[in-house]
Amino acid sequence: MHQFATADITVLVIYLIGVVGLGMWFYRKSRSPEGYMAASRSMSGWVVGLSIFGTYVSSISFLALPGKAFSSNWNALAFSLSLPLAAWVATRWFVPYYRQGNAISAYQHLENRFGVWARSYAAICYLLTQAVRMGSVMYLLALPLHQLLGWDIPMLIMVTGGLTTLYTLVGGIEGVIWTDALQSVVLAIGAIACAILLPLSMPDGPQQMIDIAMANNKFSLGSLGPSLVQPTFWVILIYGLFINLQNFGIDQSYVQRYIAAKSDSEARKSVWFGALIYVPITIVFLWIGTALFAYYSVQPELLPETLRNPEPGGSFVAEGKGDDVFPFFIIDGLPIGISGLLVAAIFAAAMSTLSTSLNGAATLTLTDFYQRFIRPKASSRESMIVLYVGTMVWGLIGTRVAIAMIEVKSILDVWWKMASIFSGGMLGLFLLGMLSRRAGNLAAIIGVILGVLMILWMTLTQMAFWPEAWGMLASPFNNNLVIVFGTLTILLAGWLLAQIGPSDRNNTNEQQSPRGE
């Protein structure tokens, strides 16, 4: 195993200095709340699009997707295949909807439609989701650095969280968008370089990698059967559609980017730009995982004892260690200099997502809680203090969640599951307001209550503490369907109640719906 050479260290240090410096460069433009949260609505579509792409990738994709392909197959590609449809919906309805007013919070629109409870519910769901996302990203970043530097994973998590919080705190959303754009280029170059080098590193050449992958069915997209219990191709596809509609439609991180664009056309361009780049990059990541499987299956002795399966006759990698294989290869299997580039790319993927989540969480802390409930007429200086404090507090929360994830076996599975749960079916609430003219406050409240009960049933009854004697009451459905069932329960229950009862919809100060109704 080669040690991190001077060339590797140089690449990594230059990258970190460049990213932090670029983020801090925009300090002068982010000293007002409008500049900090919306970049004064002046950004070009291609920059915003690269930022959206960087937000999508994160270290969850960079490390967990190869880990998933290594351990199983290309089933995760179904998630990405739903992106074009979600992008079309976003450019057709969501982008013009959010850009028609001066609101920066994505959830102020829900208050206009259903009341303050709806805004607070959605904002809390978003904040919980981002806490889990930040934790997953920081933990995955710490894996290769742990193998590289020998530092404790909790220490690495704290260093990463501190660096990202620093440049997000200083640079605001414009600094976040520009650094995301830079990091998107770095991570794409790093992933493509690794995807090319891995097959060339096979003892008998690239064809050997293809032969091994085909023999082990590694290119499979999963079962095409009708089961709702297993993570079939259709289950992951419908899960991806709902998650991506939620991302493009009501996720504060994306809505802020629409608002930061300098025109409606540039905002629409950014959505297509970010979404369409992500699909081929997903294939690159899955290719890497498949190539790693072939690479180590013919030479398992290259793996350290901590990753090997001690049981004969089974997989050559210990159970739950799939996410660790790619980080090990980056440090041990790549040429000097390329290792530094790949570690920089992982930093790029992680810090892009972290900075986005931090800025979005701080923005909601100010707009949806402080200004809404405590000081509606807070001064510019007071608002900036709240934004700074909010950024630091959410950085600490994300760091703490990351430390709690150290014992997790598959980060991608956990992230998908937690994203479904903490999203709380808020997409259903938004769609109810968008699609039903009659649905009012009471129908929405009952719909949300039923949706949350559905989510709790599907989640809690599949956990270890659920009594075996109550097995007949447990949810039989795959966990990836939590967001699907939760969303549909809110939408359909709210719509039905609105049809059979008198409409209590309050049109006061309500903005035009995304359908223009």
Rg, C-alpha atoms of the chain:
23
- Give pLDDT, residue 352: 73
Taken as a whole, the chain contains a residue count of 517
- Give pLDDT, residue 365: 95
- Give pLDDT, residue 143: 74
**CA-to-CA distance for 112 and 107, rounded, in angstroms?**
9
**CA-to-CA distance for 496 and 445, rounded, in angstroms?**
13
Measured from the Cβ of residue 372, the count of other Cβ atoms closer than 10 Å reads 19
Domains of the chain: 10-423 (1.20.1730.10), 424-517 (no CATH)
- Give pLDDT, residue 413: 66
**CA-to-CA distance for 388 and 384, rounded, in angstroms?**
6
**Is there a contact between 367 and 105 (Cβ–Cβ < 8 Å)?**
yes
Q: Which two tokens stand for residue 225?
A: 């059967």
Q: What distances in angstroms separate CA 513 from CA 54, 428, 433, 470, one per listed residue? A: 29, 15, 8, 44
**Is there a contact between 515 and 278 (Cβ–Cβ < 8 Å)?**
no
- The reported pTM is 0.84
- Give pLDDT, residue 465: 81
- Coil, strand, or helix at residue 1? coil
| pLDDT tens series, the chain, 517 aa | 445 667 777 877 887 788 778 777 877 777 788 888 888 888 999 999 998 888 787 666 777 889 889 989 999 999 999 999 999 999 998 999 888 877 888 898 899 899 999 999 999 999 988 898 888 888 877 877 776 667 788 888 888 888 888 878 877 888 888 888 887 888 888 889 899 999 999 999 999 999 999 999 999 999 999 999 999 999 999 999 998 998 898 888 889 999 999 999 999 999 999 999 999 999 999 999 999 999 999 998 888 887 877 776 667 787 767 778 888 888 788 887 788 877 777 777 677 778 888 989 999 999 999 999 999 999 999 999 999 999 999 999 999 988 888 777 666 567 667 776 777 678 899 999 888 888 889 999 999 999 999 998 998 888 778 888 888 999 999 988 988 999 999 999 999 999 887 666 554 444 444 544 4
Residue of 20, 6, 37 whose CA lies nearest to 256: 37
Give the N- to C-terminal CA distance of the chain in Å, as an integer: 63
